[in-house]
Structure formats: C-alpha cells, structure tokens
Structure 1
Amino acid sequence: MRIAIALALIPTIAQPDCTTDAMLVFDGSTSMVDSSLGIQGLPKIAEAQRAMARALPEIEDVRRVGLMIYGPQQVGDACEGISLQFLPIEKSAKPILDATRSFAPGGLTPLTAAVARAAEVMNYRTDPGVIVLLTDGSETCGGRPCALGAQLADQAYDLTVHVIGFQLNPHDALFQWNNPEQEFGDDNVARCLADATGGMYVTTETIDELTAALRSTLGCPLLGRLGTGSQTPG
C-alpha cells in the first residue's frame, strides 16, 4: 500500500502550480439538452451540473476559477452566444453552479471563439493561466481550434488548455458541420488546443468520469488521483 501511494504521488512533482487562476469554458449549446447518451436518462447539462456539484467544492479550496458560457444567444446569430460570467474568483463553486442553472441551452458551438475570449480576459500573453473547455460536441461555427492552439502556444506566457469531451457523438452530422479542421473519424478537433498547450484531452461518458476529469484538470493533481476514490483519466 505504501509503495502504491508513493508511486501515485510521483507525477504531481512535475505538474503546474495548482493555484494558478483558471477559467471553465462551459458548453451551453442546444445539444446539452439531449438525454439519449446519458446512462441516467438526464439531459447532458443536468449530468454535467451533478459532476460539478461534486468536484467544485473541493476545487474552490485550491484554485480560483472563472466561468465562460458559450452557446445560448441573446438575439441574432446562433454562433454569437459567448458570455463571460465572471473572472476567476475564490469560492467559485456556488456561483458556477448558479450560473449554469440559470439558462436554457441553445445556439451552436463556437468553442474556438469562446476559448480565445477566455484567453484574452485572462491576459494570456503576460499572466499564467489554465483554461478547461467542457464540450459535448465539436466546433460548429467555422472556428479553427488547431490554428488557435498554435497561436496560444506561440504567444502565451504560460497557458495550459485542457479539453474535456462529455458524451461525444462523432458520428453525428453536427460533429463536422461548419468545422473546417475536422476529419471524419478523428478525435474532436478541439484536442488540438490541449495538444498544442501541453494540456489533457479527456473523453467522459458518466457523471463519475466527468467528476474525475474536473478534479484532474481544475484541482490539484492530488485530488484527481486520490480524492474520493476517483482515478485520473488517461
């Protein structure tokens, strides 16, 4: 047992400082109301909220987190629904949960523009930061995540982008619609953002898996490996 615990702690040495400010970029697009892939029969957004309710109270003790929501548009273009809820704050669990419960999913998936905006508000050229993109689909607004990933890697002071896919369906036609960098059968093209910046790309299907992924990307590495029996996604 002592050996196993020691080995589990070794990878935390090389991990970035878990006190670096982070931004959660949350998918609020129309597809988040789908319940066909959820094993509990709940809409995806409800399952995502349950996972956040488990993970965020632990995470808020070790990191300040902000929130950007993309998808729901106020008026006009279905690709313009990107809203900064708040910059990284202490004790962010309740504000994040309240914000993600206060809207009805809608619109398309401008995930590239949402990550770009999150990077800008976090002053990525001069300040360290972490962005966690949560998405249930791929880009559908013509954005180019691979090009953005290369730009962030070239210009950022110290920015890591993690990508969490939740109940992805790559065979859905929307997975490739207005998504110029996507090739059929590939991983979600948003993986480029993680690969270019040294982040994690994790696919999740269940509330438990999503909870573990949030702990691993937003919390201290120790939370993802030893917290409440969860395992760090590979």
Structure 2
Amino acid sequence: MKPLLKIGLLASCALAFGTSAPEAQIGDCSVDAMLVFDGSASMDEISFESGPNTRIVEARQAIRRAMPDIAPYRRVGLMIYGPGPNGACQNLDLRFGPIENADGPVIDAVEALRPDGLTPLTEAVRQASEALEYRINAGVVVLLTDGNETCGGRPCDMASALKATARDLTVHVIGFRAEVDFFAWNNPEQDPENTTTVARCLADETGGLFVTTETVEELVAALQRTLGCPVIG
C-alpha cells in the first residue's frame, strides 16, 4: 500500500495538533470512511474573530486541499446536515456512501452547499455509521462541526451505544472555530461547566481524535490526519 503522508506533512500535523493531542487508533486505508459535514447556518456567519471569511469559505478551501491527497487511498462517503426543504433539524442528506476517488464528488458537494438550518449532529453521525454498516464492518466517521448539537440529540449516549454494537468503529471530531453555546435550549447533554463541545464524547468513547482547529491550515492537517493513512516504514 502506498503511504499517503510524507514526513514534512507529518511534522506539520504534529504542530497543528500539539503535543497534548490524544493518540487515536487510525486504521489502514482498507477501512471505509464517512465525512459528516456541518452545513448549518452558523457556518455562514461572520464574526469579529473570523474576519472577512465565513467558516464555509475556509472549510471549502480546506476540503479542496485535503481531499485529493486522501481519495486515492481510501473510499470516502459524505453526509451533510443543515440545509434543505424540511424542518431546521430534519435535513440530513446522505449524498453517497463510501466510493473510490471521492475527492471530486466531495469537493463539488461542499462547493454547492448553501448553509442553513440547525445542527442535528448526533443523528447525522448515526446515519453515517449505518451507511458504513458499522455492526459488521470496520469503519471511520469524521465529523466536521463548528459547534454543538442543537436538535435534542444525545451524542454521549449514542457514542456508548455505537461502541457496544460496532464491530470496529472510530469517530473523530474536528471542531472548526467551534463555539459552545451554553444557552442552546435543545442540547440536553451540555454541561455548563464544560467549555468544549459536547460532541467530544463521540471521539472519547470510540477511541477517536477530538481536534480544535482555527485556520485553514489546521483544518487541512486535521482532515489528512483523520481521513488519511499513516506513514508506513
């Protein structure tokens, strides 16, 4: 199998993740993956911290840079939540299950995305796991989100259930300029004393990585680390 990441890229990932990042059990590229992409309305917001670019603009840049280095080596599928014709919490769009050479389809889907709606991330991860047939197949889910569950889901409860019933499922969570909204009324597991997104438990429970990213470069490194393949030799 060809290695995906070169030594220079590995070094840049180490800088992006920091020395305190937990070690995850990154499987080989024979294991299929699902990317769960946050398309909620907050991805299109401009804040004082973000400057002129919204999150979706920079997330598109990161996807364009990362996916061509990932797709030749791993089959990847795509789930998008947020925009759509249904209620704000009912738009979960399984664009496609794991396919070869997914870089073009993933890039095109994210480019065409117009953020809207809320954040049913728990149900999105559950459906992505089902697309992997996680009870009988090993698989990887990578959730890219800018914040918390806002549709009443309980990601920590679901993480425990996934762990108990999966053959070998790892969930990685990438927070992209993620913000914790302590006043979100539909986020039942949020602890007011916990300053990280409640979605972290998805990674903690399944042996995945929880990574916070603030820049395009950090997001590219996070995608390559979680969707990519380890260096061999």
Letter in 1 for 2:219: L
Secondary structure of the residue that 1:217 maps to in structure 2? Answer: helix
Instruction: Give the counterpart letter for 1:150 in structure 2.
Output: S
Residue 89 and residue 38 in structure 1: after superposition, are their counterparts in 2 closer, same or farther (change >3 A)?
farther
Output aligned runs, 1:167-182, within 5 Å.
167-170=177-180, 172=181, 176-182=184-190
Task: Identify the match of residue 105 of structure 2 among 87, 95, 104.
Answer: 95
- Structure 2 CA distance, aligned partners of 1:15 and 1:164? 15
How many residues in Structure 1 have an aligned counterpart in Structure 2?
A: 212
1:1-234, aligned counterparts within 5 Å? 15-36=26-47, 39=50, 41-75=52-86, 77-170=87-180, 172=181, 176-186=184-194, 187-222=196-231
Q: Which amino acid aligns with 2:189?
A: E
CA shift for structure 1 position 17: 1.5
Structure 2 vs 1, CA of residues 178 and 167 (structure 1 numbering), >3 Å: closer, same or farther?
same
Q: CA deviation at 1:184?
A: 2.0
Q: After the TM superposition, which segments of 4 or more aligned residues of structure 1 sit over 3 Å from their partners? A: 37-40
For 1:17, the aligned partner's letter is: D
Change (3 A) 1:53 1:83: same
Equivalent AA in structure 2 for residue 123 of structure 1: E
Q: How far is 1:79 from its partner?
A: 0.3
Q: Structure 2 unaligned runs (5+)?
A: 1-6, 12-22
Which structure shows the bigger proportion of residues in helix conformation? 1
In structure 2, what is the Cα distance between the partners aligned to 1:166 and 1:60?
Answer: 21
Q: CA deviation at 1:136?
A: 0.4
TM-score (norm 1): 0.85
Structure 1 unaligned blocks of 5 or more: 224-234
Opposite residue 69 of structure 2, the aligned amino acid is E
Q: 1:205 to 1:81 in 2, by over 3 A?
A: same
Shift of 1:73: 2.5
Change (3 A) 1:185 1:54: farther
Contact preservation (8 Å) 1:20, 1:63 = yes
* Counterpart amino acid of residue 27 in structure 1: D
Residue number in structure 2 paired with 1:226: none
Contact kept, 8 Å, 2:76 with 2:97, in 1: the verdict is yes
Shift of 1:38: 5.9
Shift of 1:15: 3.8
CA contact (8 A) 2:28 2:230 kept: no
For normalisation by structure 2, the TM-score amounts to 0.85
What's the Cα RMSD here?
2.1
